[in-house]
């Protein structure tokens, strides 16, 4: 008996010690910032940055993953030929230093920056760019960005020619998202690329530690052609629970955080410790209505009644603590070049909704099925608010909460009645093409069959808008499209999300709508 | 929990063994057990309140949103305050209890029925049937129950019925084992042998002679499992695989309150206390029942 | 004894096969397909079909299951995660130690709090040392672990910032999750230790020892506890299995990269290899631990050892 108890004690001790030891080695902790020490001028300047992401990190292959968590790091480590500034919409040179467009708008000539080099020290060769465009086309999550590219060829050692199948206004935006990878490294790692450290990017930071469950570490690339970054080390740590993340931020474990909206007022008030900023994101959340789901929803008057029953104000309060921006526009107004006056909008008007319902032949109400939403977060809240409003005007429906991952399959296969969803729009109104054109099988959520809609006309307008290079004409086309589209009463834009950034007051940051560029930050 | 009491010997298998004197004896012992009585009283109050919830606060109050009055602290008007949608938390907790307790009890009943049928088959027939059944039970028991329930809910979709199935499915192995052991312990008694010799059908023997004599340990196990089921359902809701909103349920109320942890912590405290109170009282009753059935453990 | 051990080890094989079949079936009827989960909102139907084909997901159910088994058994390959492209085994290797650590710490807390207090309350039955812990234990046994976790986070990392709310960067990170998992189990072990101890104390040989005038302390801590220990070890063993895979809510709350949350993400993302790998490993560990518990039983109690030696199977 005694032997056994000794054995047990030893076993427990060993597991305890090994536990502490190994975890300490695996996860080098940043010395949590002591708020007092920063007041003394002798305190050494920090060079590291601790950030969090809400989901586990999946892959460092920028052609495989477009998950938001991964993109946070991609933005620091990979670059395209150009970079589109999220705030201004301007294109800034990166791997390419300049570009020219041919008369017909189908040929782009990119002059490469001679100083651009990969993290392993090799200069960027035209073959790497050709390889990266080809590889992107083979990877479905980013293939749409190069779908219109006909050919990529090397003109001379420092010039690349990209030929398009048709002129396309949004090409530059799409092209900025095609990250250039080092052909040799990617081919060497083969199927393993994405799962471990690889020096295949050209950005201001390189991967130094890749651990999908615990987090990633990036180090500043000292040879970066625009000059080495001020902040030398960035750690990304997955924290799924927003409240827990905020506690971690307040404890100094994180330096910059997207705060839960419920706690915003407290954080704003605490000016001696934190700085805060609200930045509108590129994200629009919408309700989509499936006109083929049932006879009631097939009736345009019922759909319009639903449109007038959407209480965006209440959704903003419940879902975003009143901080977000209510919108009637499919694309975030702040980042579009085709800004126009809206023709058809759906304001919250329960009386009008009831009238429309009566006009549709359902004065005593009707059952329209279910509102589908993913569990948790603001979508669920928006769905709950709409559920109540619909019931108040006599439209009966259920709420159907499903896993985030199941939402898009259901949308694709038209397996829903009403659904709430949203998209981040990069670039301008032409982004509507990738969401609503009938050729985009993976992205169309409503089938505009000819019985009720002029689907061909909707498609034609999107196509015309995509190739029109003249800004004024584009605006006209998109205005016509938008009116037609809104008249179908199949998709109601509601909220333009905002990012509620909060950060350590000693950190100098530039906040963007979606992804930070930590190269511009410093302590 | 093996019923160590020797079963009363009777030579006539036609006699019904649910003897009132035995139940009376159990009831008498229960009455003496103060914690069990307290538990029973709390449980009865909760069940009564939940059953007559509609007469205390109408369900409408639990789902009517009023964003202007959101996140109000407890007051005379809203006893438990209001949630992020401005809904009355007291009404939500009360009507949520309906769902939580319904899931707890019906999944316990579901797994009890399944467990009694399969357990008595395994215990009564023995041999290959027993072996095959018990190995399947081993298999299901080897899967962590919460993960099993999560997978089942993910496969079937989130609804009240599916939640009951998922929770019951992962709880059944324990009940099968208890029933089997109990059946084994009375299966070779002489009156059972006599009934077999007399040509009584197997079903009748199990139903009339065996089960009434091992109802004790089964009841203890089932009572305890109600409490565990309430916790399991709450955990599923907490992980986002629970009942569809706006239907309130204790676990989902807590899950929704998570973001208001620091600004309105009463939102998570009240439903949490209700879960604790009901599982606590169920455990007390279960303990009391066990002690009453097996007085040797007590005193 | 050795024959028994061998047979018990063999028994793990059919159980694991059964587990794999059940989990594979459940995952197969879960709506959705892996390609859509991988692609998110981008990609066309052709892409989806192609990726599903590459993953072999377009084949009939039994073929897929057979293929999985073949690879797992013959090639020792648990497959590659759909979402990470990393091997399932590398994920498990990374997360299992975390889960084991959390579980061990929780059980340490549970046993160090539960067992001594349980023994004490049995010895001092009906005194304040008995009623107070018993009431407290009843209370803790009724608390949902995730709720306890939230309350601990509220008090110990928000109101009084002592411990971090997330992650396992240092030993401090383990404290709150282990407490929230351990305290309800401590309550359970307290109750168990108490009743098991009560039962032993009442047995004849203890009475005899008392009558012979042996010092009370020695009787209790040496003779009685030794015998009361067996059921306690069983319950610790069972709890180990329960916490290892069942700590999902706590892992999610405290952002701990454990095996349970790996399986849950897998279920949500329809990452079949991850779910399969995770649950199979968990179930094998559970079976092994139950085996160890049985063996410890045999070591402590010669009567049971004798029983095994005669080759009789114990009723589980």
Name the residue among C24, C26, C22, C55 with its Cα closest to residue C38: C55
The chain B residues in contact with chain C (CB within 8 A) are 35, 134-136, 138-140, 142-147, 150-152, 154-155, 157, 177, 181, 184, 227, 231, 234-235, 238-239, 251, 254, 258, 261-262, 265, 268, 272, 275-277, 279-280, 283-284, 297
Separation CA B149–CA B168 (nearest Å): 9
Residue C11 with chain B: CB contacts under 8 Å: 138
Name the residue among B21, B17, B19 with its Cα closest to residue B208: B17
Decide if A180 contacts A126 (C-beta within 8 A): no
Domain boundaries, chain A: 46-60+203-280+500-523, 79-192, 283-496
Separation CA B163–CA B154 (nearest Å): 10
Whether C166 sits inside 8 A of A194 (CB atoms) is no
Q: Which range among A94-98, B45-49, B153-157 shows the weakest confidence by mean pLDDT?
A: B153-157
CATH architecture of A283-496: Roll (3.10)
Name the residue among B262, B268, B84 with its Cα closest to residue A318: B84
Sign of CA dihedral A33, A39, A42, A45: positive
Task: State the average pLDDT over residues A252-268.
Answer: 89
Decide if A512 contacts A497 (C-beta within 8 A): no
Name the residue among B100, B90, B76, B81 with its Cα closest to residue B260: B81
Instruction: Point out the residue among C199, C241, C264 whose CB comes nearest to the CB of B150.
Output: C264
How many Cβ atoms are within 10 Å of B253's Cβ, its own excluded?
27
Q: Which residues pair with A164 in a beta bridge?
A: A149
pLDDT of A23:
36
Sequence-ordered list of residues with C-beta below 8 angstroms from that of C163, at least 6 positions apart, any chain: C156, C157, C172, C173, C175, C176
Low pLDDT (below 70) residues in chain C: 1, 40-44, 204-206, 214, 220, 300-316
The alpha-helical segments, DSSP class H, found in A238-294 are: 242-250, 264-269
Whether B241 sits inside 8 A of A375 (CB atoms) is yes
Separation CA A334–CA A316 (nearest Å): 19
Task: State the average pLDDT over residues A138-147.
Answer: 81
Helix axes B145-156, C225-246, angle to 10 degrees: 30
Give the closest-approach CA distance of C299 to chain B in angstroms.
Answer: 23
Whether B263 sits inside 8 A of A262 (CB atoms) is yes
* Residue length of chain B: 299
Q: How confident is the model at residue B108 (pLDDT cuts 50, 70, 90)?
A: very high
Q: How confident is the model at residue B295 (pLDDT cuts 50, 70, 90)?
A: low
Residue B245 with chain A: CB contacts under 8 Å: 380, 383-384, 387, 399, 401
pLDDT of A135:
92
Q: Which residue of A has its CA nearest to C250?
A: A241
A4 pLDDT above the threshold of 60: no
Whether A247 sits inside 8 A of C41 (CB atoms) is no
Pairing between β-strand A107-112 and β-strand A149-156 as defined by DSSP bridges: unpaired
Phi-psi region of C126 (alpha: psi -120 to 50; beta: other; left: phi over 0): left
pLDDT of B273:
92
pLDDT of C302:
61
- Per DSSP, the three-state class of A53 is strand
Residue C15 with chain B: CB contacts under 8 Å: 135, 138-139, 142
Query: Model confidence over A143-176: pLDDT tens digits?
Result: 878 888 899 999 988 899 999 988 887 788 888 9
How far apart, in Å, are the Cα atoms of A25 and each of A53, A196, A207, B232? 22, 18, 18, 36
**DSSP state at residue A158:** T
Q: Which range among A172-181, A258-267, C43-52 shows the weakest confidence by mean pLDDT?
A: C43-52
Whether C138 sits inside 8 A of B35 (CB atoms) is yes
Give the closest-approach CA distance of B240 to chain A in angstroms.
Answer: 6
H-helix or E-strand spanning residue A500: strand A491-504
Query: Model confidence over C51-105: pLDDT tens digits?
Result: 888 888 888 888 889 988 888 888 888 888 888 888 899 889 989 999 999 999 9
Query: Which residues, numbered 43 to 62 in chain C, qualify as contacts with chain B under a Cβ-Cβ cut-off of 8 Å?
Result: none
CA angle A504, A505, A509 (to 5 degrees): 80
Whether A401 sits inside 8 A of B157 (CB atoms) is no
A114 pLDDT above the threshold of 50: yes
Q: Which residues pair with A496 in a beta bridge?
A: A284, A325
- Greatest mean pLDDT range, B59-73, B93-107, B230-244: B93-107
SS3 letters for A347-385?
A: CCCHHHHHHHHHHCCCCCCEEEEEEEEECCHHHHHHHHH
Q: Which range among A335-344, A398-407, C154-163 shows the weakest confidence by mean pLDDT?
A: A335-344
Separation CA C149–CA C147 (nearest Å): 5
Name the residue among C16, C13, C89, C33 with its Cα closest to residue C272: C33
Q: Which residues pair with A218 in a beta bridge?
A: A207, A234
Give the closest-approach CA distance of A414 to chain C in angstroms.
Answer: 13
Separation CA B115–CA A86 (nearest Å): 61
- Per DSSP, the three-state class of A470 is coil
Instruction: Point out the residue among C84, C174, C254 whose CB comes nearest to the CB of A212.
Output: C84
Whether A398 sits inside 8 A of B261 (CB atoms) is no
Any chains having at least 3 CB pairs less than 8 A from chain C are: A, B
Pairing between β-strand A325-326 and β-strand A491-504 as defined by DSSP bridges: antiparallel
Separation CA A158–CA A321 (nearest Å): 51
Sequence-ordered list of residues with C-beta below 8 angstroms from that of C136, at least 6 positions apart, any chain: C187
Separation CA A433–CA A435 (nearest Å): 5
Separation CA C274–CA C301 (nearest Å): 40
Pairing between β-strand A418-424 and β-strand A366-374 as defined by DSSP bridges: parallel
Whether C15 sits inside 8 A of B157 (CB atoms) is no
Decide if A371 contacts A411 (C-beta within 8 A): no
Residue A67 with chain C: CB contacts under 8 Å: 40
Mutate to test the interface with A, among B261, B264, B268 (most CBs of A within 10 A): B261
DSSP letter string, A435-448: HH-TT-TTT--S--
Query: Model confidence over C10-37: pLDDT tens digits?
Result: 888 888 999 999 999 998 888 777 887 7
Decide if A142 contacts A113 (C-beta within 8 A): no
Separation CA A110–CA A99 (nearest Å): 4
Decide if A508 contacts A256 (C-beta within 8 A): no
**DSSP state at residue B72:** P
Give the closest-approach CA distance of C207 to chain B in angstroms.
Answer: 16
Residue B84 with chain A: CB contacts under 8 Å: 262, 318, 381
How far apart, in Å, are the Cα atoms of A58 and each of A87, A198, B144, C186? 27, 15, 25, 37
Whether C42 sits inside 8 A of A144 (CB atoms) is yes
Residue C315 with chain B: CB contacts under 8 Å: 181, 184
Separation CA B131–CA B221 (nearest Å): 22
- What percent of chain A clears pLDDT 70, i.e. is strictly above it? 90
Q: Which residue of B has its CA nearest to A374?
A: B240
Whether A314 sits inside 8 A of B67 (CB atoms) is yes
DSSP letter string, B243-266: PPTTS--HHHHHHHHGGGTTT-TH
B26 pLDDT above the threshold of 80: no
Q: Which range among A44-53, A336-345, C142-151, C276-285 shows the weakest confidence by mean pLDDT?
A: A336-345
Separation CA B171–CA B39 (nearest Å): 23
Q: Which residue has the tokens 């467990």?
A: B115
- What percent of chain A clears pLDDT 90, i.e. is strictly above it? 45
Separation CA A293–CA A416 (nearest Å): 7
Class in CATH terms, A46-60+203-280+500-523 = alpha beta
DSSP letter string, A389-450: HHHHTTEEEEEEEE-HHHHHHHHHTT--SEEEEEEEPPSSTTHHHHHH-TT-TTT--S---T
pLDDT of B11:
41
Give the closest-approach CA distance of A240 to chain C in angstroms.
Answer: 6
How far apart, in Å, are the Cα atoms of C99 and each of A39, A483, C94, C107, C146? 40, 55, 10, 12, 16
Residue C32 with chain B: CB contacts under 8 Å: none
What is the fold of A79-192? Dipeptide-binding Protein; domain 1 (3.90.76)
B6 pLDDT above the threshold of 50: no
Mean pLDDT across chain A:
84
Decide if A435 contacts A423 (C-beta within 8 A): yes
The verdict on C161 touching B (C-beta cutoff 8 Å) is no
In terms of C-beta density within 10 A (0-12 exposed, 13-18 middle, 19 or more buried), how is residue A190 classed? exposed
Separation CA C207–CA C229 (nearest Å): 18
Give the closest-approach CA distance of B260 to chain A in angstroms.
Answer: 7
pLDDT of A99:
92
Q: Which residue has the tokens 């907790």?
A: B93
């Amino acid at each position: 008996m005694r032997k056994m108890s000794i054995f047990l004690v030893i076993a427990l001790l060993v597991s305890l010690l090994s536990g502490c030891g190994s975890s300490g080695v695996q996860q080098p902790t940043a010395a949590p910032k002591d708020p007092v020490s920063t007041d003394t001028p002798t305190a050494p300047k920090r060079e590291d940055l601790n950030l969090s992401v809400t989901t586990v990190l999946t892959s460092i292959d920028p052609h495989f993953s477009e998950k938001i968590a991964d993109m946070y790091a991609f933005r620091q480590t990979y670059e395209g030929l150009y970079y589109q500034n999220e705030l201004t919409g301007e294109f800034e040179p990166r791997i390419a230093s300049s570009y020219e467009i041919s008369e017909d708008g189908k040929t782009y000539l990119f002059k490469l920056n001679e100083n651009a080099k990969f993290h392993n020290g090799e200069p960027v060769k035209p073959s790497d760019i050709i390889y990266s465009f080809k590889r992107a086309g083979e990877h479905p999550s980013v293939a749409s960005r190069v779908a219109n590219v006909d050919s990529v060829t090397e003109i001379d050692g420092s010039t690349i020619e990209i030929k398009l199948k048709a002129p396309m206004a949004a090409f530059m935006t799409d092209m900025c998202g095609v990250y250039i990878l080092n052909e040799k490294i990617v081919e060497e790692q083969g199927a393993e690329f994405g799962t471990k450290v690889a020096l295949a990017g050209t950005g201001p930071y390189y991967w130094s530690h890749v651990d999908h469950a615990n987090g990633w570490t990036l180090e500043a690339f000292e040879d970066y052609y625009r000059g080495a970054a001020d902040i030398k080390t960035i750690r990304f740590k997955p924290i799924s629970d927003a409240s827990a993340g905020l506690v971690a931020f307040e404890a100094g474990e994180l330096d910059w955080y997207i705060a839960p909206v419920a706690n915003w007022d407290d954080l704003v008030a605490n000016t001696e410790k934190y700085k805060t900023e609200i930045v509108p994101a590129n994200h629009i959340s919408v309700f989509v209505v499936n006109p083929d789901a049932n006879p009631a929803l097939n009736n345009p008057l019922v759909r319009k009644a639903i449109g007038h029953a959407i209480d965006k104000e209440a959704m903003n309060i419940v879902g975003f603590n009143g901080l977000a921006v209510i919108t009637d526009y499919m694309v975030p107004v702040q980042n579009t070049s085709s800004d126009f006056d809206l023709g058809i909008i759906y304001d919250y008007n329960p009386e009008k909704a009831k009238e429309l319902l009566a006009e549709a032949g359902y004065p005593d109400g009707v059952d329209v099925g279910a509102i589908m939403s993913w569990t948790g977060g603001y979508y669920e809240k928006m769905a709950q608010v709409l559920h109540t409003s619909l019931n108040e005007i006599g439209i009966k429906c259920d709420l159907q909460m499903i896993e985030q991952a199941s939402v898009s399959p259901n949308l694709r296969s038209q397996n829903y009645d009403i659904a709430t969803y949203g998209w981040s729009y990069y670039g301008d109104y032409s982004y509507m093409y990738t969401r609503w054109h009938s050729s985009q099988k993976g992205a169309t959520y409503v089938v505009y069959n000819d019985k009720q809609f002029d689907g061909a006309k909707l498609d034609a307008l999107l196509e015309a808008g995509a190739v029109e290079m003249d800004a004024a004409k584009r605006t006209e086309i998109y205005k016509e499209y938008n009116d037609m589209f809104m008249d179908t009463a199949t998709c109601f834009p509601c909220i333009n999300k905002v990012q509620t950034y909060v950060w350590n007051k000693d950190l100098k940051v530039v906040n963007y709508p979606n992804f930070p560029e930590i190269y511009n930050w410093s302590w | 929990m093996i019923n160590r009491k020797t079963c009363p010997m009777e030579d006539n298998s036609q006699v019904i063994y649910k003897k009132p004197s035995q139940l009376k004896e159990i009831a008498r012992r229960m009455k003496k057990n103060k914690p069990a009585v307290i538990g029973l009283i709390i449980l009865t109050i909760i069940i009564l309140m939940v059953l007559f919830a509609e007469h205390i606060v109408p369900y409408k109050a639990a789902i009517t949103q009023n964003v202007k009055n959101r996140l109000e602290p407890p007051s005379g008007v809203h006893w438990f305050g209001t949630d992020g949608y401005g809904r009355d938390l007291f009404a939500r907790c009360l009507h949520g209890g309906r769902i939580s307790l319904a899931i707890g009890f019906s999944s316990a009943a579901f797994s009890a029925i399944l467990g009694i049928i399969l357990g008595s088959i395994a215990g009564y027939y023995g041999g290959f049937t027993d072996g095959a059944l018990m190995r399947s039970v081993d298999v299901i028991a080897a899967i962590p129950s919460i993960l099993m329930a999560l997978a089942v809910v993910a496969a079937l979709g989130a609804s009240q019925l599916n939640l009951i199935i998922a929770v019951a499915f992962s709880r059944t192995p324990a009940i099968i084992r208890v029933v089997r052991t109990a059946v084994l312990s009375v299966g070779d008694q002489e009156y059972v042998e006599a009934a077999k010799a007399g040509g009584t059908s197997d079903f009748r023997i199990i139903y009339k002679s065996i089960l009434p004599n091992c109802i004790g340990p089964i009841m203890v196990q089932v009572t305890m499992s109600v409490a565990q089921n309430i916790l399991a359902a709450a955990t599923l809701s907490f992980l986002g695989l629970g009942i569809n909103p706006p239907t309130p349920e204790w676990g989902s109320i807590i899950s929704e309150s998570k973001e208001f942890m620091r600004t309105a912590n009463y939102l998570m405290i009240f439903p949490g206390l209700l879960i604790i109170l009901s599982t606590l009282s169920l455990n007390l009753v279960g303990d009391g029942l066990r002690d009453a059935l097996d007085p040797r453990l007590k005193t | 004894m050795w024959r028994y051990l061998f047979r018990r080890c063999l028994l793990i094989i059919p159980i694991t096969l059964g587990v794999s079949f059940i989990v594979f079936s459940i995952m197969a009827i879960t709506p959705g397909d892996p390609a859509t989960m991988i692609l998110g909102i981008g990609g066309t139907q052709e892409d989806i079909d192609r990726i599903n084909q590459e993953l072999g997901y377009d084949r009939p159910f039994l073929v897929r299951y057979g293929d999985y088994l073949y690879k797992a058994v013959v090639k020792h390959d648990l497959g590659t995660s759909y979402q990470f492209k990393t091997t399932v085994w590398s994920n498990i290797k990374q997360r299992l130690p975390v889960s084991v650590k959390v579980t061990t710490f929780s059980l340490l807390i549970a046993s160090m709090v539960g067992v001594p207090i349980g023994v004490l309350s049995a010895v001092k039955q009906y005194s304040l040392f008995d009623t107070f812990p018993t009431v407290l234990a009843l209370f803790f046994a009724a608390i949902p672990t995730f709720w306890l976790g939230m309350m601990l986070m509220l008090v110990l990392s928000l109101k009084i910032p002592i411990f971090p709310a997330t992650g396992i960067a240092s030993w401090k990170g383990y404290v709150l999750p282990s407490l929230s998992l351990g305290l309800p189990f401590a309550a359970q072990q307290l109750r168990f230790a108490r009743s098991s101890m009560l039962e032993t104390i009442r047995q004849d040989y203890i009475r005899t020892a008392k009558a012979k005038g042996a010092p009370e302390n020695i009787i209790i801590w040496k003779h009685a506890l030794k015998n009361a220990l067996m059921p306690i070890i069983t319950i610790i063993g069972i709890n180990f299995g329960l916490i290892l895979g069942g700590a999902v809510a706590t892992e999610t709350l405290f952002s701990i990269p454990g095996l349970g949350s790996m399986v849950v993400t897998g279920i949500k993302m329809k990452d079949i290899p991850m779910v399969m790998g995770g649950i199979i490993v968990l179930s094998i560990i559970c079976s092994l631990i139950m085996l160890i518990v049985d063996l410890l039983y045999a070591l402590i109690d010669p009567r049971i050892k004798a029983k095994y030696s005669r080759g009789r199977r114990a009723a589980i």
